[in-house]
Structure formats: structure tokens, C-alpha cells
Structure 1
Amino acid sequence: MAFQLIYSVALLLSLWSTARCDFFVEGVLQMECHDRYFMIAVDLAATGGPRFEAVDGTGTYAITEDYAAKCGYSINVLSLLGLVEFRASYFSCHTEKDDGFSFRFNLITTYDGEDVYYALNKTCSPSLPWSPREVTCEVNYMEVSVRSELPCPAGFSDDWNTLEPLYSASTQGWQVTFQNLDEQLPPMNLSKARREGYVFDLAHDRIVFRTPYGQPESYSTEVNGVPVEVVHATLFLRQSWVAIMVDMIAACSMDAGSYHSGYMIWDTPEALYPSLGGTQISLGLNGKLGELAAAEQKGFIMARYNSTVQIGIPSNAEGGYRKSFVNNGIFEFYIFNLYLKQTSVDEQHEETALRFHRTLVTPLLPSSLFTEDQTDVAEGAFTVYLGKVPRDVELTSLQLNGQEFEVPFSDANTYTLTEFSKENAAMLHKLDINYTLKAIPGNDPYYYTVSVKALIAVSPPSFDASCTASGIDFKLAYRSFDYLWDISIGSDRLTPALAAEHGYTMSNDSHSLLLSVPLFTHGYKYQDITLKGFLGTFTILVRDHNTSEVKTSTIKTCLFNTTELIVCSTNGWMTVVTDLAVVLQSGEIPTIHLMNSRCVPKEVDGTRVLFSFPLHSCGSTVELSKGDVTYQNKIYFVRYENVSEGMTVQCIYPLASLQRLFSIHKFESDKEGFGNIIPFVTSTKGVQTCTTTEMTTTVAPQRTRTPSLHLPSFYHTARHVKVYRVRNKLPYLKKGTKDAMQEMRLPRF
């Protein structure tokens, strides 16, 4: 508040003279002599509602509202500016009129309930010579002064009736009579006239007459449509057969002004006083007169029409003042302290100078706030400007979609919007802004609301992927709208729990998602398996959050070195890479096959072999447990006509994942199988059954397994799995051994 007040005071003082007080008085901002009046500017806040007293040799006189209008003072409280402006006419009641005009006043302020008096003294000399007749139309009174030495008229008046009241026996000494539109009123002496509120004086060889507005003897009329107040007083003195008469007439335009198209318009008749060749105009604001040409350069306009002078003051005129007002909207009004001088010359070549002091106020004008949406979709943030906010209106609070934010609203405040709607690969964001504004000073709030929208083209997120020696790494840099999609591995949504279950390493924060997928974990697909290497492929799916529809995927295939592995595919194939060095003697390269001797390795490299065969071929057996189906085969090698068992290989599938096997008679698993490679430790010569104790070896990096699912109750395993004895002689078993082995085969389709 202090800054606002200082700013307003500085603004107004910049329009006044730079002359300062001759001495320092607390609260007095300025004392200044003008061409026809003396002015004091007082700080309203510092003086707490000041009062003034006039001082002369006879005593002190309180300047009340009525006394001010009678004695030539005007007190203008500019509360919006925090100022009080006091003006005193050079012919005011208690002015000492010697060589100059000397003013003495007491400024009375109140502190802690006590009156404090400051003496303010100033002597002024008029800067301009006096015209034969001078008229001042102040805000609260009219004043006219004429030279006391009047020129002789060129002829005598033919209207002898105007002299009749002067010859009454009661008219002794100076008398005054008033004339209205219809009649001339009876004369009264000056003492009675003073009691009625009129003042007559003689100073500096000038006769002065002053009257407040609205006196009974004044009258209102219209001149060319402009309201005018007139007081027509005739001052006379009768001595014997000689009568001295002084015509004192004050006529002032009472136009209150009007506002139109950015201008405050004020009218005055051009011929309030007799004039030959029109009138000359000079004008300004706040007591400063300037030539018309200079005023027009500042945006003022002056026009004459129908014997009327019309002044136009632009709303942004320097020296004007504006104020905001809140009442179910933001309004503004402008205040102009117009000072105008109108000079005319009559047929006797006598000049009349007419001065107006008028405070003009515009009506309440709506302040048209506006918003400018400068949102850049690429930045992912709304940028909205509120424009044409008056300087005396401040933002007190702000709501975004109903959420309150502190003021001032800085870049440090962020607010994430939820999705408004999404169609055709675009997302519409909507921001409802509620500005709360207040005029200063003032307590009434004004709420200004606006809604802005941003249509953002969106696409599903895409991962960066890279191969490592032990697996594949995926990285996703989050965007503000990536919450619209779900990340999944197959049909399962990627969560920390899922990652822990399958052995993934996942790091997830508000900026990025990092996922490391070790080789042979759930979700890999394997292709082109050779003893030199194989391709491992891992797929991450991006699904619509609402419909679970797959929108895009990130597929990464990497080349890995082959060590030892077993792959149990969903289409019923077992692929095995193993090293038989643990069961072979050094340098030995035997013949190697599966249980069916015709099933030999696809590749052999020393003791390393690669088999790939359908699960239901090559003599594989099937074992059915409560929840799983196990397909098993064995790797044999022949040396020196002896057959030895080297490895047992298994693929175990959850029974529930094989439902298509029983419905369409085709092997197709919903999940990959779980593989085991079991070394056979002891080898024998001749014909032996495999009765030696087996050691099951399960190597975690060489298997893919998901948790087994319980078989639904509507699957009847006994009706879909048949057991057969082996009828064909096995080529690698001698007689007597076939009854020792059984084979459970699935029918060939």
C-alpha cells in the first residue's frame, strides 16, 4: 500500500511545478503561486484529515465548506490520490493585499487525539497583468472583478427604467440590486448582502464580487443547449443627482461533461460575454494553462459549433487520473482537473478573461480483460497471459481446475493435468483458470475465468534396446502422457512383482524405466540355434490402458554364444545343445543318437552336440503328473559296439497350457516348456537297463519356466492320454530288454 500511495503522489506532483515549500512542514507536499490563485498540496495520510484556518490581523477563521464558498477558498479531497488540494483566490477574504497578495493559514492535523497546528505563510505576485474584467468559475463559487476606473461610455442608455430603484429615499450608500430573467429585485445594502452570502470588496484598484453557486438571486438557463448559471448584480452609489453604477455579472458553464469514444467532452458557450471576432482558448490540467496548439499536440481536441466551444480530453491525457472499481466486474473511471481560460473582447475593446476550474469524472467504464493463449504443445505446458489488467488491480489468488495455487504464480509451480479426452492418436487437455482480482485499495474480489485447450498428438511409448553378453537391456524415457498405456510381457502387465518373479531387473521412477532381461528368462524366443550361436528375441508390448489392445511393440533380437541349453518350444519341439565330455573319454568321438537311433545330432563339434526334434518323435516318452506333462528322451553313444546312455533330456509343460492338444489334436502350448538336462554318470558294456542312479542337474540360465497352472476342472486327462507298449524292436536293445521299458506316446496326427 505504501508503494501505491507514493507512486500516486509522485504522479500528480510531476504535473505540478517543481517549486517546493520555503520551509519544511510535515505532511505539506507543496505550496505554489499560480496566475490567479495560491495552492497548497497536503498528504492526506500523513495529516489524518487536515483542516485549515485563515489568519489575519483580526484573528483566525475556520474554513468550513460554506465559509470557503463565500470567501474564495476551495478544498478538494483527492482521496484516490491520498491528497488534499487547497486553493485560495487572490481576492479571498483574509488576504493582505498590499504590494502583493500575502496569505496566512493554519494547517491543523490530529495526532493521538490532539490537534497540532502548523503555520503556512506565502506571498504571491500575479504573473499575468489583469484584464479589465476577470471572471473565475471555481468548483464551489463564482468571482468577478473589474477595474475601479471605468471608461466613459460612448452614449447614454435609453432604458431609463433601470434607474428608477436608485431614486428611492431609502437608497443611501453603496447598494446592490440583482436581476434575474424576469425582473429586477429590490436593492439591499452591502451588509445585508454579506449576510446573504455575497462578498463585495475593493483591492488593487479592482472591485470584486463573489458568490457561491445556487444562491436565491442567481438563475439557471441554457445557452445553445449548454446549462449556465448566472448572477447579475448591479452595484451603485447615489450622491445627490449623480449615480455611479457598476455592472457585475458572473456567468459560468455548468456542464458536467460526458464521455464518448475515449474522450471526456466538456462544453461552454462561446459568447457568455460580449465578444467581437470570437474567443481565444488556452487550457490544461491541474492548474497549468497552455496554448491550444500545445494542448492539441498532447491529444486534446477543441471544436466550435453552434456558438459553443467543445473540449475533448483523451482518457490517457498526461495529468489525468484513473481508478479501478470492482462491482460484479472490473470497471474504471477517469478524473480530470480541467483548467480553461476563455478570452473575449467587446465592442469597447475591453477584454474579459473567463477562467474555469472543473473536476470532470467519466462514468464507470468496463475494463475489458482478455487472455492470450500462447501454449506451445511441444513444450508440454500451458502458457496463458492475462492482458489489460489495470495497474491498480492485483492478482490475489489463482485456481487451476479447482486447485488453489499461491500468488505470485511462478515457474516453480507445476500442475499435471489429467486426460480430458483421447481420439484418433490425439489427446485433448483442458485447463480451467480462475483468476481472483482486487482493486487496490478495496476488498471486493472479482473472478475472471477462462478455459484453454491443447490438442496433443500422441503415440505409444517406444523403448531403446541394447544387447549385452547375458541378455537384453530396455530403456524408456517417460513422456507426460505415457500413463495412457500399459507395458506388458506377453499377456502379463509389467510390474515390480512380475519382474521379480521372472528374474528381471527393473528400475522405475518418474523419468524413465530401465529393464534388464537375462537370457533364458520368461519371454525369450530362440531361433537359428547352432553350436556356434543362436538368436534370442525378446518382445515388450505396449497396450491401451483402457482396452488392453496392443498398440505397438519393441522387439529386440541379439546373437548369443551357445554353451549348453535346452529349449522347449510352444509348437512341440525340443532343441538341446550339450557337451558330452563329462561322460566320454578324452579324444573319443562315438556315434551319438537318441532313443530312436535314426535321430542323430544336427551338428557335432567334438564332444558338443545339437539335437532338435519334435517332442512326440525319436522315441520320446510322456509322463503325466498331477499338473504337468513331461516329455523325455535320452542321448546315447555307441563305442566298441557298446551302447551307453549319456544324458536324459526333458521338457515339462503345465497341463493347462496344452488345452489345444486335446481339442484340435495339435500340439500347441500357451507357454514354453521347462527343460532339464540330466547327465548319466555310470556307463556299462553290453546290454543293460538304465537302472543306475541318476543325478538331476538343473542349470538356471538354461531353462525357461513359468509357474505351473492348476488344470481346470473341465479337462479330463484320462480320456485324452493313452498308454502303449512298445511293439517294434528297438535297434539298439538286445532281446529281453523291450519288456523292461515302456513308452507312453501321443498318437501321431
Structure 2
Amino acid sequence: MAFKLIYSVVLLLTLWSTAGCDFLVEGVLQMECHDRYFMIAVDLAATGGPRFEAVDETGTYAITEDYAAKCGYSIGVLSLLGLVEFRASYFSCHTEKDDGFSFRFNLITTYDGEDAYYALNKTCSPPLPWSPREVTCEVNYMEVSVRSEIPCPAGFSDNWSTLEPLYSASTQDWQVTFQNLDEQLPPMNLSQARRKGYVFDLAHDRIVFRTPYGQPESYSTEVNGIPVEVVHATVFSRQSWVVIMVDMIAACSMDAGSYHSGYMIWDTPEALYPSLGSTQISLGLNGKLVEQAAAEQKGFIMARYNSTVKIGIPYNAEGGYRKSFVSNGIFEFYIFNLYLKQTSVDERHEETALRFHRTLVTPLLPSSLFTEDQTDVAEGEFTVYLGKVPRDVELTSLQLNGQEFEVPFSNAKTYTLTEFSKENAAMLHKLDINYTLIAIPGNDPYYYTVSVTALMAVSPPSFDASCTVSGIDFKLAYRSFDYLWDISIGSDRLTPALAARRGYTMSNDSHSLLLSVPLFTPGYKYQDITLKDFLGTFTILVRDHDTSEAKTSTIKTCLFNTTELIICSTNGWMTVVADLAVVLQSGEIPTKTHLMNSLCVPKEVDGTRVLFSFPLHSCGSIVKLSKGNVTYQNKIYFVRSENVTEGMTVQCTYPLASLQRLFSIHKFESDKEGFGNIIPFVEPTKAVPTRTTTEMTTTVAPQRTRTPSLHLPSFYPTARYIKVYRVQNQLPYLNKGTKETMQEKRFPRF
């Protein structure tokens, strides 16, 4: 007969933790001796739907549903956690009952159609002494045992050895009769009783009687309104003129329990067996008994009234289990494996110990989900919590405003909500959320929907700026509404093409904008230049996307170390920091340093380093015109010997298109910064003129140019400096329509 489950419930079981357990064979988590039974816990996943066989000296016996109830076994499948719990009574069939109780079982697992057998053996000694009468109300059978020492008149032997072969099919001496509410049934021999599913045995000087529930000879009744199943068996033997009779009564409460105000309530009559006073109660879950006082400290309720014992188990009791269920909503139910011992003492001071194993299940209870809106309007982020989600319920999918999203969310993805309205610098956003949840295990979905809104004041974005050795870094963390603004450098909108053209390093994704601006790239302004350091300032503007009106700006000024630089400003000044060491011999210090006009001397000198700052039209500067450009050139001189003067040529080149005025008035204006160069040279001393303010031309000896061997950081180029503003081109000194090629010209110094 195929194995059927005695009861199959889906549990969230925390009792069987593998921590600290010895793995006896593959898939076996634990084997324990309890007060009146032996227990095996098996990993369901590891054993692939296990089966059990009982083993004794006569052979092996498959433990099916019917055989388990008759022979004192119970099997519980805890499928959610993937466990099987097997219990065997100490008086179960095939148990060797010598000094202790020895159990032998085969665990059978099946993989790919192949069976594997594992032998499980254990010997137990009951930790508690036996009461004169003990009754066990298991989930699938009733069992009663009484001691065999019965008081007799003097001279009569108390020898019960004839009961030893009770289980043997050849025994005819002993008979049993059953009694129900109305009549005494005809007696039958023990072989007939065994064929009906009853078991009688003698072990450890105790007479044992066991029966499955629902036998024809048992009957149901009510005691104080509580359903009770009773089987009343009397075994007897006629030996000569003496009749020996043993009364075996098993009575068990069949109350299924009820749920009320957060408690699972279970009732049993207090007087199932005669008692001189109140019965003693100890109870617990999952086979662990504690005394009444200790149980009450854990939240259990035990009350007596009208000869009834009422047990209350809190819904969140430790050792209880819960399970979610989806059906047009989310529901939950709780499961409790109640273990209760009830002890009574009769008028002869004989003790009866009654033990119950009961699986109690609450009705389906609604599990009310709720949402908590913690949207941060300032950050522009919806944050919505879904609360009271049972731990065995999973979110499988999510829709936001009708768009499907992967679960769990990826931090790499963002979602911009549709703008509903934008008035008076405020924006209304609405988020419709559709949660799809399922109970595990299971496939039936439950949909939970909620809508949240946020009225958001829209403010321009703001950059974080930081100084680096080589420039300034800007960072902008995007908000969902930052698309309402444009970022610009001056009048030019910041784009990847602009950044590449100007030498910026730009990283832009859906989360943030990172902009690294190296020194001396377009957009900087410089102040307080000395041979030691100088200030560099860079400005980023935020403009309204629709009107291009500048709303806010981020201005960052940093202090940088000065090495060699040349700055060609938009207002017509050249600022140069040069290191003459490239044209000097090692250790040599220059003297009499000046520009082409010897009256123009450095603002600062530090060894071989000099600082000049002068208007482009002054200090003897030479102006050179070429196609599309104008170059202002001057020279830094120092006397090297009586015949040779060495130095450096410094020059600023401007595109003609960016110059607003040129030569018509003595004012320099450009909407673009110039490009500068510092070029070492050597020329005869006689070629160095003494300039006056009226000189127009000078004969200059051929110039020897050599590339400086400067060891400068890469962020100090010799060209592009200082941001300027674009204006209309004006070249008043040119005759319109002429095709004359501009030649190098000298202009007065100013």
C-alpha cells in the first residue's frame, strides 16, 4: 500500500535548526528520545519524499497510513520548511522491549527512480517513571497501558506470564470485549481483535492496548459540551474457576480548537478519568512540556470552569507556525503542535497520566496590508513603504504608472514621472503603484494598488565644487526635474562637444554630472598672480531651459601654485611667469632683466624666475598680423656677456574675429582669450635697443630659437588663458573690399 501522509500541513518551522545537530545519515537531521516516544526529523528536500520501514528479527514492515495508526507510529510532513517528523511510541510494534526500548527503522529515499536504504537505530530509556495508568491521545491513534501487578487475595498467584504471547496469532486463552454507551458487545479472541486493527501487548510488566481512531467498537460522546472519543475494552481469561479481567479504557478529547481574540483555544474535560481533586496540567509546543506557571509566563492561558480545562495559545507563541494564503486578498493561519499532559489521582491514590498530541489550526485571518508614504519632496523622490507583508509572501512584479519594473529594483535605473502641472514654480507628480504578490509556495497572485502624489517646488540645481592640484571639479547629483534647466559656461551651453573642444573632462549619466576643468582652459579668471601662487576662478551658470535666463551660478575660486605661465587677457594685458633657467648655465643668476623697453622691469624676481605684467601695446611690443590672427610679441632680456644677450620671446595671439576694436583707439577689447607662447632666444647685445615712447621701427638680428627643457606639470600649457566675451567684430583700420595681404607692422608703444 502506498504511503499516505497522516497529516500534511505547510508550516514555517523554526524548531528544527540544523545547527548543533549530528547528521547521522544523509538527510537525517535529528533522532531524539522523549518522555514517551522516539522522534526522527528528516530533511524532505534531501530525501526526495522519504518512506519508513520498521525492522525486527522477523523482517521489515512498510509503515503505511493504516499500519502507522495500528502500530503506534505517526508521521507529520512540514512541507514549507522541507521536513518530515516521525514519532514512534515506546510500545509500538517491532520495538525490542528488553532493558530499554530499541528502535530499528529503514529510511528509504528515491532519486531518479532508484531507492536508497539507510538504517536508523536508537535505544531509549524513558526519562520519567511510569504511572499506574498512562493514556496517549496521538494524532492518529489512542494508546493505553496499565501495570500488570494487580492486588489479589492471599494465596493467589499474580503471574501474568500467560499474557506474554498476547501478540501471537495462536493464542486463544485471552479474549476481549468492547462496551459502548448502550450495550456490551460479544467477546472476541485476540486474533480477531488484531485483524480489526487492535493491538494488545505485554512489555515491561505493562499491559498495552492501542487502537486507531474511528473504529466500529469505539463511540463518540460529549462531556460538558466537548466531543470525546472513547474505546472501552476489557481483556479477560478464564483459568479453571478463576477469571482474570483487565479494564482498558482510552478516552480522548476531539476538540478541534477555536480562535478568539488572538488566542487559539482548546478544551478538554477535566474528569475524563476519576480524580479526587483538580488535575495537574503541564503543556508546551512541539513535544516540549513545561509546568503551568512557566507556560503562563510565556503567554499561555490555562483556566478551569464547569469541570473543563481551557487552554489558550497566543497567536505569536514561540514554537507556533504561520502560513499565508492568497484568495481575493491575503490571509494567514497559525498552526500549533500542542503537547499536553494531564495527571489525575483516583480514590485508591492511583495515578493516571493522560497525554495529548494535537495539531491546532486557526481559521483564515485577514492580513491587512498598508502603505506609508515617506516621499521626500526636497529630493524629488517617491518613497512608499508597503507594510505588514507576511514573511512568506513575495513581491513578484511592480508597475509604476503602468510601466512594468523588474523586481528587485536595480540601483542603476531611474524613472522620471510624467509632469502633470507646472504653475507658480511648482510641479504636481502622481505615482500609481500596482504590487503583485504571491504566497510561497503558490502561484495565485494578489494585486495591491495605491496612488500617491507630491507637489514639488522646483528650484535650479546646485553643483558641489572642489579644488584639485590641476584644476577644479564640479559635481551635480541629478533630480528628476533637473531637465527644466540648462548648464552653461558663459554663454555657451555645456555639451560633450563643448567639453571636448575646450579640454574639459565630462562624465554624464542618469544619476549625476561630473565636470573636471583643468587650469588654463577657457572659462577661468585669474587674480593675485605672484611667483608663489595665484587665484583661479571658474563659473558655471544654470539657465532656464525655455527663456535662457540665468537663474543661479556656482562660482569656485581656488589657490594654485605658480610655476611658468602666460596669460593673455581679454582687456589687453599680458601676464608672464618665466623661468630663465632654461637659457642659463647651471647655478647662474640673471641680472638686469627687462622687456624690449628697458624701462619695463619685472614686478617680482626670485632667482631665475621673473613675473611681468604689462599692456599688450606697451613696453615695445611688436604687433604681427596674419590671416585671421593678430599677435602681440615682446621679449624678456637679460645680459649674459658683453656681446650676447639672451632671453625669451613672449607673445599673445588673438583671433581677429574676436576683437571689437583694434588700433582705432587705444583700448583693447576681445571676446576670446589669447593664446600665449614663451620662446627662449639668443641674440647679439648690440641688437638690444634702448626704447623710447616715440620709436616706430627697430632692426633686429636674426633670432635663434630653441626649445626649452622645462620640467613643468602637464597642466601648465603655454597657450590658452583667461575667458573673454564675444562681441561684434570691428576692424576699422582695414579698407573694405581690399584683397591686401596684411604684412608684419610695427605700432607705437602705449
The TM-score range, normalised by the shorter chain, is: 0.5 to 0.7
Q: Which 10-residue stretch deviates more, 488-497 or 254-263?
A: 488-497
Deviations along 1:181-225, one digit per CA (max 9) or x if unpaired, are: 111111111111111111111111111110000000111111111
Deviations along 1:22-41, one digit per CA (max 9) or x if unpaired, are: 87311111111111111111
Alpha-carbon distance in structure 1 between the residues aligned to 2:644 and 2:167: 168
- What's the offset of the Cα at 1:436? 2.3
Alpha carbons of structure 1 residues 10 and 391: separation in structure 2 relative to 1, 3 Å: same
Alpha carbons of structure 1 residues 343 and 563: separation in structure 2 relative to 1, 3 Å: closer
Q: Within 5 Å, which residues of 2 pair with 1:283-682? A: 283-422=283-422, 426-458=426-458, 480-481=480-481
Alpha carbons of structure 1 residues 170 and 538: separation in structure 2 relative to 1, 3 Å: closer
Alpha carbons of structure 1 residues 90 and 416: separation in structure 2 relative to 1, 3 Å: same
Alpha-carbon distance in structure 2 between the residues aligned to 1:478 and 1:281: 67
8 A contact 2:135–2:145 mirrored in 1: yes
8 A contact 2:9–2:78 mirrored in 1: no
- What's the offset of the Cα at 1:687? 53
| Uncovered stretches (5+) of structure 1, i.e. residues with no partner | none
Deviations along 1:76-118, one digit per CA (max 9) or x if unpaired, are: 1221221111111111111111111111111112233222211
- What's the offset of the Cα at 1:508? 13
Deviations along 1:229-284, one digit per CA (max 9) or x if unpaired, are: 11011112223432222111100011111222222221111111111211111111
- What's the offset of the Cα at 1:643? 57
Q: Which 10-residue stretch deviates more, 41-50 or 492-501?
A: 492-501
Alpha carbons of structure 1 residues 555 and 88: separation in structure 2 relative to 1, 3 Å: closer
8 A contact 1:393–1:440 mirrored in 2: yes
Alpha-carbon distance in structure 2 between the residues aligned to 1:19 and 1:735: 96
Deviations along 1:691-717, one digit per CA (max 9) or x if unpaired, are: 999999999999999999999999999
Alpha carbons of structure 1 residues 703 and 12: separation in structure 2 relative to 1, 3 Å: same
8 A contact 1:673–1:705 mirrored in 2: no
Alpha-carbon distance in structure 1 between the residues aligned to 2:14 and 2:725: 114
Deviations along 1:399-423, one digit per CA (max 9) or x if unpaired, are: 2112222222244332111222345
Alpha carbons of structure 1 residues 447 and 705: separation in structure 2 relative to 1, 3 Å: farther
8 A contact 1:397–1:406 mirrored in 2: yes
Q: Which 10-residue stretch deviates more, 415-424 or 466-475?
A: 466-475
Alpha carbons of structure 1 residues 458 and 355: separation in structure 2 relative to 1, 3 Å: same
Alpha-carbon distance in structure 1 between the residues aligned to 2:567 and 2:169: 144
8 A contact 2:27–2:46 mirrored in 1: yes
Q: Which 10-residue stretch deviates more, 208-217 or 165-174?
A: 165-174
- What's the offset of the Cα at 1:337? 1.2
Alpha-carbon distance in structure 2 between the residues aligned to 1:169 and 1:565: 115
Q: Which 10-residue stretch deviates more, 364-373 or 12-21?
A: 12-21
Alpha-carbon distance in structure 1 between the residues aligned to 2:341 and 2:119: 32
SS in 2 for 1:738: coil
Higher relative contact order (CA 8 A, sep 6+): 2
- What's the offset of the Cα at 1:394? 2.4
- What's the offset of the Cα at 1:668? 32
Q: Identity rate of aligned residues, in percent?
A: 91
Alpha carbons of structure 1 residues 46 and 697: separation in structure 2 relative to 1, 3 Å: farther
Alpha carbons of structure 1 residues 516 and 384: separation in structure 2 relative to 1, 3 Å: closer
8 A contact 1:721–1:746 mirrored in 2: no
TM-score (norm. length: structure 1): 0.61
Alpha carbons of structure 1 residues 694 and 358: separation in structure 2 relative to 1, 3 Å: same
SS in 1 for 2:10: helix
8 A contact 1:135–1:145 mirrored in 2: yes
Deviations along 1:552-576, one digit per CA (max 9) or x if unpaired, are: 9999999999999999999999999
Alpha-carbon distance in structure 2 between the residues aligned to 1:724 and 1:326: 69
Alpha-carbon distance in structure 2 between the residues aligned to 1:281 and 1:336: 18
Q: Which 10-residue stretch deviates more, 290-299 or 575-584?
A: 575-584
- What's the offset of the Cα at 1:448? 2.0
Aligned to 1:729: 730
Aligned to 2:684: 683
TM-score (norm. length: structure 2): 0.60
8 A contact 1:418–1:429 mirrored in 2: yes
Deviations along 1:141-195, one digit per CA (max 9) or x if unpaired, are: 0000011112469999999999999999999732211111111111111111111
Alpha carbons of structure 1 residues 401 and 17: separation in structure 2 relative to 1, 3 Å: closer
Q: Which 10-residue stretch deviates more, 682-691 or 535-544?
A: 682-691
Alpha carbons of structure 1 residues 542 and 720: separation in structure 2 relative to 1, 3 Å: closer
8 A contact 1:108–1:117 mirrored in 2: yes
8 A contact 1:171–1:238 mirrored in 2: no
2:196 is equivalent to residue 196 of structure 1: yes
Alpha-carbon distance in structure 1 between the residues aligned to 2:162 and 2:642: 166
SS in 2 for 1:447: strand
Alpha carbons of structure 1 residues 5 and 380: separation in structure 2 relative to 1, 3 Å: farther
Alpha carbons of structure 1 residues 701 and 612: separation in structure 2 relative to 1, 3 Å: farther
8 A contact 1:27–1:47 mirrored in 2: yes
Q: Which 10-residue stretch deviates more, 150-159 or 179-188?
A: 150-159
8 A contact 1:681–1:695 mirrored in 2: no
Alpha-carbon distance in structure 1 between the residues aligned to 2:494 and 2:677: 27
8 A contact 1:284–1:340 mirrored in 2: yes
Alpha-carbon distance in structure 2 between the residues aligned to 1:35 and 1:535: 87
Alpha-carbon distance in structure 2 between the residues aligned to 1:415 and 1:569: 45
Alpha-carbon distance in structure 2 between the residues aligned to 1:148 and 1:707: 118
Q: State the Cα RMSD in Å.
A: 13.5
- What's the offset of the Cα at 1:638? 54
- What's the offset of the Cα at 1:389? 2.0
8 A contact 2:563–2:712 mirrored in 1: no
- What's the offset of the Cα at 1:326? 2.7
Alpha carbons of structure 1 residues 307 and 419: separation in structure 2 relative to 1, 3 Å: same
8 A contact 2:538–2:556 mirrored in 1: yes
Q: Which 10-residue stretch deviates more, 587-596 or 320-329?
A: 587-596
- What's the offset of the Cα at 1:481? 4.0
Alpha-carbon distance in structure 1 between the residues aligned to 2:725 and 2:313: 114
Alpha carbons of structure 1 residues 481 and 728: separation in structure 2 relative to 1, 3 Å: closer
Alpha carbons of structure 1 residues 79 and 638: separation in structure 2 relative to 1, 3 Å: closer
Greater C-alpha Rg: 1
Alpha carbons of structure 1 residues 266 and 623: separation in structure 2 relative to 1, 3 Å: same
Deviations along 1:1-40, one digit per CA (max 9) or x if unpaired, are: 9999999999989746999888731111111111111111
8 A contact 1:674–1:705 mirrored in 2: no
Alpha-carbon distance in structure 2 between the residues aligned to 1:244 and 1:193: 18
Q: How many residues align?
A: 749
Alpha carbons of structure 1 residues 564 and 735: separation in structure 2 relative to 1, 3 Å: farther
Alpha carbons of structure 1 residues 709 and 84: separation in structure 2 relative to 1, 3 Å: closer
SS in 2 for 1:378: coil
- What's the offset of the Cα at 1:610? 40
SS in 1 for 2:567: strand
- What's the offset of the Cα at 1:450? 1.5
- What's the offset of the Cα at 1:447? 2.3
Q: Which 10-residue stretch deviates more, 694-703 or 82-91?
A: 694-703
Alpha-carbon distance in structure 1 between the residues aligned to 2:193 and 2:728: 151
SS in 2 for 1:11: coil
Alpha-carbon distance in structure 1 between the residues aligned to 2:3 and 2:172: 63
Deviations along 1:662-697, one digit per CA (max 9) or x if unpaired, are: 999999999999999999999999999999999999
8 A contact 1:656–1:711 mirrored in 2: no
Alpha-carbon distance in structure 1 between the residues aligned to 2:635 and 2:288: 116
Alpha carbons of structure 1 residues 745 and 117: separation in structure 2 relative to 1, 3 Å: closer
SS in 1 for 2:684: coil
- What's the offset of the Cα at 1:62? 1.3
8 A contact 1:428–1:455 mirrored in 2: yes
Alpha carbons of structure 1 residues 550 and 148: separation in structure 2 relative to 1, 3 Å: same
Alpha carbons of structure 1 residues 7 and 407: separation in structure 2 relative to 1, 3 Å: farther
Alpha carbons of structure 1 residues 718 and 355: separation in structure 2 relative to 1, 3 Å: closer
Alpha-carbon distance in structure 2 between the residues aligned to 1:448 and 1:687: 90
